[in-house]
């Protein structure tokens, strides 16, 4: 069986489910080396209600797969000397200097807050060490949000960002709204909205013409519906669409696009910052972005604090993981075949990618399911990656 047949089988099994438990409504996968696509395929449907087949160019809510693209735009400014990673973020976005640290709750459940010991820097934001979190991964933020009436980040409002720090900047790693603030810094420096910045500096140079925060008629016609899994059953949520005219362009989660576009971003990193229409980053910058920036800190498990949005999440449990600018780095060789030092991340609606510069290969897996780390999609993604490496190893 060749690689295409093997991976087709992986996608079909992810959709079929097992043990009477429904699989993913639809999945798409794309893999590439530095210079060519080696697989693209899809299985299932875009929406259980419509029955329209999933295709490789199906448009997905990329959610946190947006972060690497926003981080790339920020590193372009760092490379040009327009900003320094150790600049206080409040130099550009004064509002961030007003955020306080959560210091527990009183007997009535009211939050206690204090000033942070140090200023938040752009480096802290890029590395997720500023103190910001996501409520769906942190029980204290759920409690704080309820007490202070903080809206969800998917509302794309400034009020959703004016939350609280969980610790003093630089002392821990906590995955959160940091890259939304990076987007605010980009807007302040370049005096444009983030959607325009990403379009001009990353998406258009890579030919990612079908990716953006606003759904064009063509994108809308190919959009997959997000489904909610509850007690095993899948329910389509066609009304779940990220705000199309948002108050804030959110650098951490606001892009829509197909896997066939996202693989172009992956290939740019594989090619040391070079894209089809020129260089976006120097090799030295890409080397830096894909190197651990946490020193002795480590990436930690993400508790599923809001079960409808995420289950407990950890890639390769028991293995040490670090963080770069801005994605996870596996410190040891992974069981899929991914070598130590590769980078990867994911999006809340069960989108996943990895980038292996050592072997010059990467891939993207997409579905549209809540909660995060849905078994059918996550296991399918890991099978997909394993199948790619199995074929590469046989060719070596």
Active site residues: 64, 67, 175
Whose CA is closest to 372, among 298, 303, 300, 299? 303
* Bond preceding residue 114 cis, omega within 30 of 0: no
CA-CA-CA-CA dihedral for 348, 262, 153, 226, to nearest 10:
-50
Identify whether the C-beta of residue 280 lies closer than 8 Å to the C-beta of residue 72: yes
Identify whether the C-beta of residue 134 lies closer than 8 Å to the C-beta of residue 141: yes
228 by Cβ neighbours in 10 Å (0-12 / 13-18 / 19+) ranks as middle
Number of H helices, E strands in the chain: 11, 16
Contacts of 337 (CB under 8 A, 6+ apart): 385, 386, 388, 389, 390, 392, 393
Strand pairing class (59-61; 343-347): unpaired
Whose CA is closest to 59, among 178, 179, 212? 212
**Alpha carbons 119 and 132: distance in angstroms, whole number:** 13
Long-range contacts at 49-52 (CB < 8 A, ≥ 24 apart): 49/225, 49/236, 49/238, 50/225
**Alpha carbons 20 and 27: distance in angstroms, whole number:** 19
Whose CA is closest to 264, among 70, 74, 69? 69
Identify whether the C-beta of residue 365 lies closer than 8 Å to the C-beta of residue 65: no
Task: Give the N- to C-terminal CA distance of the chain in Å, as an integer.
Answer: 17
Helix (H, G, I), strand (E, B) or coil at 120: coil
Q: Return the H-helix or E-strand segment holding 321.
A: strand 321-323
């Amino acid at each position: 069986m060749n690689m295409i047949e093997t991976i087709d089988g992986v996608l079909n099994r992810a959709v079929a489910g097992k043990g009477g438990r429904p699989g993913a409504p639809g999945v798409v996968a794309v893999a590439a080396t530095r210079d060519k696509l080696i697989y693209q395929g899809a299985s299932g449907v875009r929406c259980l209600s419509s029955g329209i087949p999933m295709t490789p160019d199906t448009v997905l809510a990329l959610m946190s797969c947006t972060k690497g693209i926003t981080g790339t735009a920020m590193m372009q400014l760092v490379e040009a000397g327009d900003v320094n990673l150790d600049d206080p973020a409040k130099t550009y976005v004064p509002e961030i200097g007003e955020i306080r640290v959560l210091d527990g709750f009183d007997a009535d459940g009211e939050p206690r807050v204090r000033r942070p010991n140090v200023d938040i820097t752009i480096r802290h934001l890029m590395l997720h060490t500023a103190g910001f979190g996501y409520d769906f991964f942190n029980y204290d933020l759920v409690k704080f949000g309820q007490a202070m009436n903080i809206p969800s980040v998917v509302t794309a409002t400034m009020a959703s960002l004016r939350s609280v720090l969980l610790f003093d900047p630089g002392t821990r790693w906590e995955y959160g709204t940091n890259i939304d603030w990076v987007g605010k810094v980009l807007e302040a420096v370049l005096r444009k909205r983030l959607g325009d910045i990403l379009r001009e500096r990353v998406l258009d140079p890579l030919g990612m013409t079908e990716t953006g925060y606003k759904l064009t008629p063509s994108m809308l016609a190919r959009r997959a519906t997000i489904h909610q899994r509850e007690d095993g059953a899948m329910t389509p949520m066609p009304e779940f669409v990220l705000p199309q005219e948002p108050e804030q362009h959110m650098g951490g989660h606001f892009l829509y696009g197909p896997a066939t576009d996202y693989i172009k971003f992956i290939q740019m990193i594989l090619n040391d910052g070079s894209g089809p229409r020129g260089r976006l980053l120097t090799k030295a910058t890409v080397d830096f972005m894909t190197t651990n920036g946490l020193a002795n800190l480590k990436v930690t498990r993400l508790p599923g604090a809001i079960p409808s949005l995420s289950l407990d999440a950890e890639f390769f449990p028991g293995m040490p993981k670090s963080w770069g600018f801005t994605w996870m780095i596996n410190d040891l060789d992974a069981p899929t075949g991914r070598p130590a030092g590769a980078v990867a991340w994911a999006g809340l609606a069960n989108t996943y990618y990895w980038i292996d510069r050592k072997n010059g290969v990467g891939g993207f897996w997409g579905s549209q399911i809540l909660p995060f780390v849905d078994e059918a999609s996550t296991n399918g993604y890991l099978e997909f990656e394993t199948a790619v490496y199995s074929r590469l190893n046989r060719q070596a």
